[in-house]
């Protein structure tokens, strides 16, 4: 994908939150960078501070924790999503998780320093605060959905929800990562899939 296409996708994703006029967009674009992760390369790693917020122009990433040497998958993000280890990015504390590319992933990055620069830019200060608020509120809703799912749903119910809301993406994720994300073995996942297929038949 060329950079013009990436920027057009990015501007479109941002427009969910705020619209930038031509001059504002020019200033904004002077503060971003293009980057590509190869499959299995890391966007963020445990113990290091995550200093970038990324927009995924193509590809996808997996968020995971390591506990006693075992990977525990926490989340996935794909094309048109934003990616960051948010708490680390916001607080400057080291990451507790890892974010790894599931496949070759094209990104647009904004560093924390550049976000600060834009928040202090006289032409953009108000809009950047508004953008930041709306984006943070959007992610509060995502996190609340995650917490609600953890508290109220079984692995099977979370599987069905995932299949219903993200079918296309779902098919891109290796099965063992989905099982890991749901907190079950690949064998249990395969059993749930068979059962739900039978129920639909």
DSSP conformational letter for 14? H
Integer Cα distance of 55 and 109 in angstroms:
6
Stretch that binds a copy of itself, among 45-53, 87-95, 102-110, 187-195 (CB under 8 A): 87-95
Structure tokens at 180: 């890991």
* Pattern 60-79, a copy of itself, x by CB under 8 A: -----x-x----x-x-----
Integer Cα distance of 186 and 29 in angstroms:
43
Size of the site for a copy of itself (CB under 8 A): 30
Among positions 139, 165, 176, 185, the unique one binding a copy of itself when judged by CB under 8 A:
139
Integer Cα distance of 145 and 139 in angstroms:
10
Cβ closer to a copy of itself: 1 or 142?
142
- Which H or E element spans position 91? helix 86-91
The answer to the question of residue 143 lying near a copy of itself (CB under 8 A) is yes
Q: What contacts 73, CB < 8 A, 6 or more positions away?
A: 62, 63, 64, 177, 180, 181
* Pattern 2-41, a copy of itself, x by CB under 8 A: ----------------------------------------
- Other CB atoms closer than 10 Å to residue 102's CB: what's the count? 19
The answer to the question of residue 168 lying near a copy of itself (CB under 8 A) is no
Q: Which residues bind a copy of itself (CB under 8 A)?
A: 65, 67, 72, 74, 86-87, 90-91, 96-97, 125-126, 129-130, 132-133, 136-137, 139-141, 143-148, 150-152
């Amino acid at each position: 994908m060329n950079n013009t296409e990436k920027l057009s996708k990015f501007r479109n994703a941002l427009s969910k939150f705020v619209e930038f006029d031509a001059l504002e967009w020019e200033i904004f674009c002077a503060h971003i960078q293009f980057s590509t992760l190869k499959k299995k390369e890391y966007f963020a790693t445990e113990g290091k501070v995550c200093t970038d917020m990324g927009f995924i122009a193509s590809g996808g990433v997996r968020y995971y924790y390591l506990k006693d040497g075992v990977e525990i998958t926490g989340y996935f993000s794909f094309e048109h999503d934003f990616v960051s280890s948010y708490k680390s990015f916001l607080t400057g504390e080291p990451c507790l998780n890892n974010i790894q590319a599931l496949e070759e992933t094209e990104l647009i990055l904004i560093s924390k320093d550049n976000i600060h620069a834009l928040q202090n830019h006289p032409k953009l200060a108000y809009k950047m605060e508004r953008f930041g608020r709306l984006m943070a509120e959007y992610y509060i809703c995502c996190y609340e959905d995650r917490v609600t799912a953890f508290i109220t749903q079984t692995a099977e119910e979370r599987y069905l929800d995932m299949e219903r809301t993200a079918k296309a993406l779902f098919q891109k994720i290796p099965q063992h990562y989905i099982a890991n994300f749901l907190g079950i073995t690949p064998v249990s996942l395969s059993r749930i899939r068979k059962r739900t297929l039978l129920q639909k038949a």
